[in-house]
Amino acid sequence: MSARAVSEATFQAEVLDSEKPVLVDFWAEWCGPCRMVSPILDQIAAENADKLDIVKVNVDENPQLAAQFQITSIPALKVFKAGEVAKTIIGAKPKAALEADLAAFL
């Protein structure tokens, strides 16, 4: 299972109303580090599907979400729990470092 795309239209239902923690990857097509971290997030999503949902928000296609969550650099990863931002991770990292950052949710 890989990270699925969400938009301004589906963000409330898919992220804020989710019973599980949700990691949101704010990214863009032109962003090299975003493309590097994407397969790592897909692996983490597949290995932890029962504990954590992982979704992607394209900041170029969803500028209001990017503004709402003050995304100033990408990739920006935000973990939402009970509709609130519980953790923010900025920049691409190797899988082990991401798993360490996400340990509380995995």
**15 is a catalytic site residue:** no
* CB 51 within 8 Å of CB 95: no
**34 is a catalytic site residue:** yes
- What is the spatial distance between Cα 43 and Cα 52, in angstroms, rounded to a whole number? 12
Catalytic residue among 3, 15, 24, 31: 31
Catalytic residue among 23, 34, 57, 79: 34
Among the listed residues 13, 10, 24, the one whose alpha carbon sits nearest the alpha carbon of residue 78? 24
Enzyme catalytic residues:
31, 34
